[in-house]
Structure 1
């Protein structure tokens, strides 16, 4: 009997199904990894936008006379 058959016999109906992060939460580990990837990407995108806005307001804006720097 091969390892796959032993595992299938041991797991029964759960064989081949993705495992959950927590037994009472209906989120699989794959879904949790995708969520972390998307939120990390979104956070870096937000940081980049914040830096671009800061550079615009701090350096480019006064050059066009939007604000006077004393």
Structure 2
């Protein structure tokens, strides 16, 4: 008997289903991967917005007379 058949018999109905990260936490591994991807993308968007804000405050603002830089 092959390992896959043995595993299928031992797991029963749970065979082929994705397992949780922790037994007491109802979050699947693919959901955790999606969260990491989303938070990484959000971090890069935040960095881009911070750089854009810095450019406006540092260069565009003084050239338009919004802020006085000494």
Settle same-fold status: TM greater than 0.5: yes
- Residue-pair matches, total: 70
Partner of 2:51: 51
TM-score of the two chains, using structure 2 as the length reference:
0.90
Shift of residue 13, structure 1, vs aligned partner: 1.6
Root mean square deviation, CA, Å:
1.1
Which is richer in strand? 2
- Partners of 2:23 and 2:67 in 1: how far apart? 57
Runs of 4+ in 1 over 6 A off after TM superposition: none
TM-score of the two chains, using structure 1 as the length reference:
0.90
